[in-house]
Amino acid sequence: MADRSVQEPSSDQTEKKVAIPSVPVPNSNARPKKAPELSVFERRNWLIHLHYVRKEFDTCKALIREQLSEAGGMCEYAVYVQGLILRQEGKIQESLDLFQTCTVLNMQNPENLKQVARSLFLLARHKAAIDVYNQAATISEKDWEIFHNLGVCYMYLRDYTKAKDCLKQALSLRRHEVTYVVLGKIYLLERDINAAIDIYRSAVEYSPENPDLLTTLGLLYMQVNQFQKAFENLGNAMAFNPSHTKAIMAAGSMMQNHADYDVAITKYRIAAATIPESPPLWNNIGMCFFGKKKFVAAISCLKRANYLAPFDWKILYNLGLVHLTMQQYASSFHFISAAINLKSDMAQLYMLLAAYSATNTEDSGQWSQQKIKPSLPYEEEPDVMSESSLMQSTQEISPDTELYPTSKLNMYKNEIRESESSYSLSEIHPRKLVSIDQAPLPPTHLPEDDDIPEELESAVRRNHRGKLPPLAS
């Protein structure tokens, strides 16, 4: 009964079936389609680029020659890379010709114009470079690199107003550390230190882990006597890069200015492992020893600094000061006069020379040490020496072996003693200095015998070995 109750499908329903689409069976013997071939002009571009980034210039130039021979010199990328290679080889004019060829092949490519302008800039043709950069700016209006390079060209033309406008426009398009650095340099050229500090502060906010920016900001704070902020920025720079020599030298210089000589020498020893043979470092170490009253070690370090930089007037000034403090007057005059010949517009040098003129008094060494301050330590372009050299300079140095041979040293000492005994004002006259209105009279107007001290007469006779006639009666 149950089976009868189920209705059987009719014949019409059985005839209606769903049609299943047929899937073609792939033929395993069929060959895959060949990839489309590149044009003959661009066929080897990928290989040229690969060898160029690997700096395999010989292989790259061989491929470029083959590519240009096949393309009849119409391959833009091959000519472009050949121009880059020639520029790196120092052939600026040849690279300029190739980039101009690229511009002829493709006038709407701003990269070609940028490379033409770059070559003109390297050839010191700044006005022509500005014209090409302006042409490239009409094609690519939002390219920060174009405006940055325009600012650099205007800076070299000393048009600082337009340079600042271009650099600020480049920063508005995209912020870059190099743009901040150039803009800060322009403000420094204009002697606007506060504006330069603002620019470098913005650069540090953009890149807070850049030790170069932090160090430069610290040095600027030192110039405006904000030592606390300077120390903070220099400390951050050394925190991110403990071996950053510029920051270490700046921090050591600041400690040296505050008479913390031991800590300054410790900083210089840390920097010594990075850049050896540095005149500024030897100068600073020598003045640290001078502050610690280790004069022989100071002279040793300053002599090495003078050997490395013989035309640096600061080192010569410091050498003259140390020799003057040690009452080595001949050496002091030698270094002071050399410094004046190199830097004739520095008042400190003439003040030191005046101190040399007054060193014949009884308290000459103490007077010069109290009145004359050492030259400021180096704060620009800091360099360092090797650690082994620093360790040698801290040892006790014998004057006979370090400065001069023993025989010559004794000879110089005897000559200095004879000159001091002959010409010392303290033995001749009780007055320490002679003013202009009290200057000695000419030889034709000699004073009376009663006005001439006996010491003066004996000193003059001793110097002339008894050949001087008797003084006027």
Mean pLDDT of 62-79: 90
Residue, of 174 and 381, whose pLDDT is higher? 174
Most confident of 24-33, 68-77, 227-236: 227-236
**Are the CB atoms for 110 and 139 separated by under 8 Å?**
yes
Percent of the chain with pLDDT over 90: 51
Domain 125-207 is classified in which CATH homologous superfamily? Tetratricopeptide repeat domain (1.25.40.10)
155, two tokens: 């800076």
Cβ atoms within 10 Å, residue 316: 27
Domain parsing of the chain, residue ranges: 40-106, 125-207, 301-373
Q: Which long-range contacts (CB under 8 A, 24 or more apart) does 460-463 make?
A: 462/422, 463/422
Fold of 40-106: 1.25.40
pTM over 0.75: no
Encoded amino acid at 109, one letter:
N
> Residue 258 — very low, low, confident or very high, per pLDDT cuts 50/70/90?
confident
133, two tokens: 């950069």
41, two tokens: 């002009």
How far apart (Å, rounded) are the C-alpha atoms in residues 281 and 304?
A: 10
Mean pLDDT of 35-40: 57
Q: Does the CA dihedral 214-219-225-230 come out positive or negative? A: positive
Mean pLDDT of 86-109: 93
Encoded amino acid at 389, one letter:
S
Using alpha carbons, select from 320, 335, 351, 415 the residue that is nearest to residue 423.
415
Query: Which residues make Cβ contacts (< 8 Å) with residue 86, sequence separation at least 6?
Result: 94, 95, 98
Q: Helix 454-463 vs helix 406-423: angle between axes, to the nearest 10 degrees?
A: 140
- Residue 88 has a pLDDT of 93
- Residue 30 has a pLDDT of 57
Domains 40-106 and 301-373 share a fold: yes
- Residue 95 has a pLDDT of 94
**Are the CB atoms for 220 and 193 separated by under 8 Å?**
yes
The 3 state secondary structure assigned to 271-335 is HCCCCCCCHHHHHHHHHHHHHCCCHHHHHHHHHHHHHHCCCCHHHHHHHHHHHHHCCCHHHHHHH
The CATH class of the 301-373 domain is mainly alpha
- Residue 355 has a pLDDT of 83
Residue, of 158 and 365, whose pLDDT is higher? 158
> Residue 436 — very low, low, confident or very high, per pLDDT cuts 50/70/90?
very low
How far apart (Å, rounded) are the C-alpha atoms in residues 20 and 110?
A: 58
